[in-house]
Amino acid sequence: MKFRTLAGQNSSNAVWQVKRQALPWVRGGYNTGMIVHTFAFRWKAGVGEDQKLRAMAGIRGLQGKIPGLLETWVGVNFSPRSQGYELGGVIEIRRPAALGAYGGHPVHQELLQWLMPLIDPVEVDFET
């Protein structure tokens, strides 16, 4: 079974290319081409500490296995404004095309296979 990206899109790169053409401030060369993929998770009821630790390890484990991932950070959210999002992370990706490759990569799909039933995610991707 192939999962969509957390945002529910089959190709983040294709969506990004459409937005890039439509938004004048993006077309104007403001950005450098590096993508920052951010995410936060609310855990569903009944998720145990062992599953939370496995999720953190699994996300960290993506580094070095998926081409284009430059840096990967994940940790427990301690913000008083967290709105229930307990885990957050940032993945630095080389360029927009690598974001699409990341979403469909078998290692990422394997992680999503068991992780998605445990979380209510939110994500934000932007070019720096």
Please check whether residue 2 lies inside any domain of the structure.
no
What does residue 9 show for φ and ψ, rounded to 5 degrees? -115, 145
Please check whether residue 17 lies inside any domain of the structure.
yes
Segments forming the whole domain that contains residue 41: 12-127
pLDDT tens digits, one per residue of 45-72: 999 999 999 999 999 999 999 999 999 9
Whether the pTM exceeds 0.85: the reply is no
- The C-alpha atoms of residue 35 and residue 1 are separated, in whole angstroms, by 26
Mean pLDDT across the chain, nearest whole number?
84
Provide the domain count of the chain: 1
Give one DSSP letter per residue of 75-92, joined into a string: EE---TT-TT--EEEEEE
For the domain that residue 28 is a member of, what is the CATH number?
A: 3.30.70.100
